Amino acid sequence: QITLKESGPTLVKPTQTLTLTCTFSGFSLSTSGVGVGWIRQPPGKALEWLALIYWNDDKRYSPSLKSRLTITKDTSKNQVVLTMTNMDPVDTATYYCAHRRRDGYNSLGDWGQGTLVTVSS
């Protein structure tokens, strides 16, 4: 059974850096083809894909946020970390991590419960 869980601060101040950790079980990020992605959802709005890291450490980012994002993995701890710099109130959202399946079509088959991050002074 695959599970993922996001953790991190619930409140950050503008200009601060957000660090979120996704801790997962049921798969290994050292297995060929595996990936973990981050997606966010502002309150009442649509889903927005942020970043993805593959088993081979290939990393992909949303072009609009690339300068602010860093995604890393710790295979031994089964964790993926997303950092986002220079936080702004518009970054207030629920942040999800998800497992990119090896189905040949990059579907996100399992998601964490999400963590709401509020940006406010």
Partner 1 sequence: DIQMTQSPSSLSASVGDRVTITCRASQSIGSYLNWYQQKPGKAPNLLIYAASTLQGGVPSRFGGSGSGTDFTLTISSLQPEDFATYYCQQSFSTPWTFGQGTKVEIK
Residues that bind partner 1 (CB under 8 A): 37, 39, 46-49, 52, 60-63, 96, 101, 103-114
Q: Which is nearer to partner 1, 16 or 83 (CB)?
A: 83
**Which among 26, 8, 6 has a CA at the least distance from the CA of 17?**
8
**Shortest Cβ 103–partner 1 spacing (Å):** 6
Instruction: Give the Cα separation of 13 and 20 in Å (integer).
Output: 15
The helix or strand, by DSSP H or E, that contains position 52, with its residue range, turns out to be: strand 48-54
Spatial neighbors of 33 by CB under 8 A, at least 6 apart, are 54, 55, 102
**Shortest Cβ 117–partner 1 spacing (Å):** 15
**Shortest Cβ 13–partner 1 spacing (Å):** 26
Instruction: Give the Cα separation of 96 and 93 in Å (integer).
Output: 9
**Shortest Cβ 41–partner 1 spacing (Å):** 9
Instruction: Give the Cα separation of 21 and 97 in Å (integer).
Output: 9
Q: Which is nearer to partner 1, 90 or 104 (CB)?
A: 104
Q: Which is nearer to partner 1, 51 or 81 (CB)?
A: 51
Q: Which is nearer to partner 1, 16 or 101 (CB)?
A: 101
